[in-house]
């Protein structure tokens, strides 16, 4: 069973401590899905990533325990190598707003931006969730980076309810895109991890219910924040993005309401009409088949264009998912 295989992976990785644990919607013909790693130039990529006029690139990327690649900190030279590779990749992608997951801290995100050599880029928001005594692995954070003016930002933890305590929470930022206020969220929902000693039958059910609870909270929070005004200016576009740890294509998640709750809340999956083979965000390994865990949801009247799933990078087990917002 996929969930059991996935949990086996996480247990194995933690025991080794040497690798990580775990719109209008356009049609499928327009989706670009590359299957190769990006070139790794010898010299740093000095960004000329000036946003194209009248459009910005909005992205989400789970960076896999960045910058160590595992729950434990690595030697500085190893982490520098991963940071340098990520910086080259982001510059190559010419990003405007990026929602990041599985980063260690705001400090490592700041270091990433420095390595990008983009003085215009900044950390708009980064969570600071502590590691709890009951956590099987250290906590990781969600962040948002952008070169656009930041009007508002923050983060909060999900609320405990129904005897469930969702891990982590959300980071958000309101940015000004040429007079249009855009609200962005970066999230990482409950994983499919089964810790040692946990019931392999009951734990997947708890994980699913936890994600469903998180989705309900997420929609309510997004709706509340999207109604805020800033000096009389209203938010015109909302993006909910991140690693949701559930797939609308996988039979193991059949009946789970996490994604449908967000859609029922008025948010559109920007890849809704794209088949699984054209939108996989987590390529297959010996531990699990390819799947779709990463999503961008959108609410607004502005046009979306050019859905693109970036090539897989060696530093992460997830692909970066992108969409362009057209003014």
Q: Please, which pLDDT band fits residue 303 given cuts at 50, 70 and 90? A: very high
Q: Which architecture does CATH list for 2-326?
A: 4-Layer Sandwich (3.60)
The β-bridge partners of 150 are 175
Residue 24: phi, psi to the nearest 5?
-110, 115
pLDDT at 65 over 50: yes
Distance CA 310, CA 2 (A): 25
pLDDT given for residue 237 in this prediction? 98
SS3 99: strand
Q: Please, which pLDDT band fits residue 52 given cuts at 50, 70 and 90? A: low
Distance CA 221, CA 215 (A): 10
pLDDT at 72 over 70: yes
Q: Please, which pLDDT band fits residue 54 given cuts at 50, 70 and 90? A: confident
Q: Please, which pLDDT band fits residue 137 given cuts at 50, 70 and 90? A: confident
Of all residues in the chain, the percent with pLDDT exceeding 70 is 83
Strands (E), 104-232: 122-126, 141-146, 150-157, 169-177, 180-188, 229-230
Listed ranges 71-75, 147-151, 165-169, 199-203; the one with the highest mean pLDDT: 147-151
> Which DSSP state fits 201?
T
Distance CA 170, CA 160 (A): 14
Distance CA 281, CA 318 (A): 6
Q: For residue range 259-274, what is the model confidence (pLDDT) as tens digits?
A: 999 999 999 999 998 8
Q: For residue range 150-165, what is the model confidence (pLDDT) as tens digits?
A: 999 999 999 999 899 9
Distance CA 18, CA 231 (A): 50
Domain coordinates of the chain in residue numbers? 2-326
Check residues 197 and 224 and name the one with the higher pLDDT.
Answer: 224
pLDDT at 293 over 90: yes
Q: For residue range 207-245, what is the model confidence (pLDDT) as tens digits?
A: 999 999 999 999 999 999 999 999 999 999 999 999 999
pLDDT given for residue 31 in this prediction? 47
Check residues 28 and 198 and name the one with the higher pLDDT.
Answer: 198
Of all residues in the chain, the percent with pLDDT exceeding 90 is 69
DSSP conformation letters of 23-67: --PPPGGG-EE--SPPP--SS------PPPTTEEEEEEEEEEEET
The β-bridge partners of 185 are 172, 240
pLDDT given for residue 19 in this prediction? 36
Q: For residue range 118-134, what is the model confidence (pLDDT) as tens digits?
A: 999 999 999 999 877 76
Check residues 184 and 73 and name the one with the higher pLDDT.
Answer: 184
Q: Residues with Cβ < 8 Å from 134, sequence gap 6 or more?
A: none
pLDDT at 9 over 60: no
pLDDT given for residue 198 in this prediction? 84
pLDDT given for residue 236 in this prediction? 97
């Amino acid at each position: 069973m996929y969930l059991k295989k996935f949990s086996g992976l996480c247990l194995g990785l933690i025991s080794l401590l040497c690798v990580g644990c775990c719109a209008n919607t356009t049609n499928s013909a327009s989706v670009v899905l590359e299957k190769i790693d990006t070139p790794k130039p010898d010299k740093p990529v000095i960004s000329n990533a000036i946003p194209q006029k009248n459009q910005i690139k909005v992205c989400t990327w789970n960076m896999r325990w960045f910058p160590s690649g595992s729950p434990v900190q690595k030697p500085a030279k190893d982490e520098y190598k991963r940071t340098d590779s990520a910086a080259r990749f982001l510059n190559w992608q010419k990003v405007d707003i990026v929602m990041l997951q599985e980063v260690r801290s705001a400090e490592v995100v700041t270091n990433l931006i420095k390595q990008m050599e983009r003085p215009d880029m900044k950390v708009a928001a980064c969570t600071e969730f502590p590691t709890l005594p009951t956590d099987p692995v250290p906590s990781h954070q969600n962040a948002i980076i952008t070169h656009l003016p930041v009007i508002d930002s923050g983060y909060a933890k999900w609320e405990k309810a129904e005897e469930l305590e969702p891990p982590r929470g959300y980071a958000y930022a309101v940015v000004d895109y040429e007079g249009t206020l855009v609200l962005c969220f970066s999230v990482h929902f409950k994983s499919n991890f089964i810790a040692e000693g946990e019931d392999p039958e009951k734990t997947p059910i708890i994980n699913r219910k936890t994600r469903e609870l998180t989705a309900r909270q997420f929609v309510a929070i997004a709706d509340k924040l999207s109604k805020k005004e800033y000096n009389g200016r209203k938010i015109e576009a909302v993006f909910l993005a991140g690693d949701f740890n559930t797939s609308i294509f996988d039979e193991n998640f059949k009946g789970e309401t996490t994604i449908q709750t967000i859609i029922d809340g008025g948010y559109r999956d920007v890849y809704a009409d794209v088949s699984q083979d054209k939108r996989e965000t987590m390529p297959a390994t010996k531990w699990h088949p390819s799947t779709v865990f990463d999503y961008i949801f959108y609410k607004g009247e502005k046009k979306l264009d050019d859905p693109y799933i970036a090539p897989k990078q060696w530093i992460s087990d997830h692909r970066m998912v992108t969409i362009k917002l057209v003014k």
